[in-house]
Each structure stands twice: as structure tokens, then as C-alpha cells.
């Protein structure tokens, strides 16, 4: 795994935590311990998403801040895989 793949992998891991905790909190809306976990991992996720977008390409359209070329449109599509 190169640096880009590693960072994308880490984003996948931490995003999974956030999605799964989000669903748990939907049915346990007063579980403070779970909310602490959610806030912690959501913060890390935001940082990693920003880092990836600055180093490689924007993962969401609102992270695309371009001047010379529209990086959002040029970014690889997720179904391309490693050989894409």
C-alpha cells in the first residue's frame, strides 16, 4: 500500500465507525458513551478527509477548491479499483 492507498484505507475504517455508530445512536439517542465515541471518530474522519483532498483529490465536491483544473471531475471513480 502506498501513502495514498493507506490514507484512503484509513478513511474507510474511520468512516465505517462513524456510520455504524450513527445507526446505533439512531435507536439509542441518549447513550452518552456512544456519543463520545462518535464525536472522537467523526473528528478524525474530517481531518483525514481534508488531508486526502489536499494531497490527492477531493473526495466530496465541497472539498474541491480548484483554480486551474476542476479536480472533482478529474478524480478517479471508486469502481475503477487499483488498476483503474
Partner 1 sequence: MWNYEKRLQFPVNIKEPNAKLAQVIISQYGGPDGEMGASMRYLSQRYSMPYREVAGVLTDIGTEELAHLEMVATIVHQLTRDLSMEEIEKSGFGQYYVDHTIGVWPQAAGGIPFNACEFQVKGDVITDLHEDMAAEQKARSTYDNILRLIKDPDVCEPIKFLRAREIVHYQRFGEALRMTQDRLNSKNFYAFNPGFDQTPNC
> Which residues are at the interface with partner 1 (CB under 8 A)?
8-9, 11-12, 15-16, 19-20, 22-24, 26-29, 57-62, 75-79, 81-83
Gyration radius from the chain CA atoms: 15
d(CA 35, CA 47): 18
- Count of residues making up the chain: 84
d(CA 73, CA 30): 41
In the complex, the smallest distance separating the C-beta of residue 57 from partner 1, rounded to whole angstroms, is: 8
Complex with partner 1: residue 32 or 84, whichever CB lies closer: 84
In the complex, the smallest distance separating the C-beta of residue 40 from partner 1, rounded to whole angstroms, is: 19
In the complex, the smallest distance separating the C-beta of residue 79 from partner 1, rounded to whole angstroms, is: 4
Complex with partner 1: residue 20 or 36, whichever CB lies closer: 20
Going by C-alpha positions, the residue among 47, 54, 57, 58 that lies closest to residue 15 is 47
Amino acid at each position: 500500500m502506498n501513502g495514498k492507498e493507506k490514507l484512503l484505507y484509513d478513511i474507510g475504517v474511520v468512516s465505517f465507525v462513524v456510520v455504524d455508530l450513527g445507526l446505533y445512536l439512531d435507536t439509542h439517542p441518549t447513550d452518552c458513551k456512544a456519543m463520545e465515541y462518535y464525536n472522537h471518530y467523526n473528528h478524525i474522519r474530517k481531518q483525514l478527509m481534508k488531508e486526502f483532498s489536499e494531497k490527492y483529490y477531493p473526495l466530496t465536491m465541497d472539498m474541491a477548491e480548484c483554480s486551474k483544473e476542476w479536480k472533482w471531475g478529474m478524480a478517479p471513480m471508486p469502481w475503477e479499483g487499483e488498476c483503474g
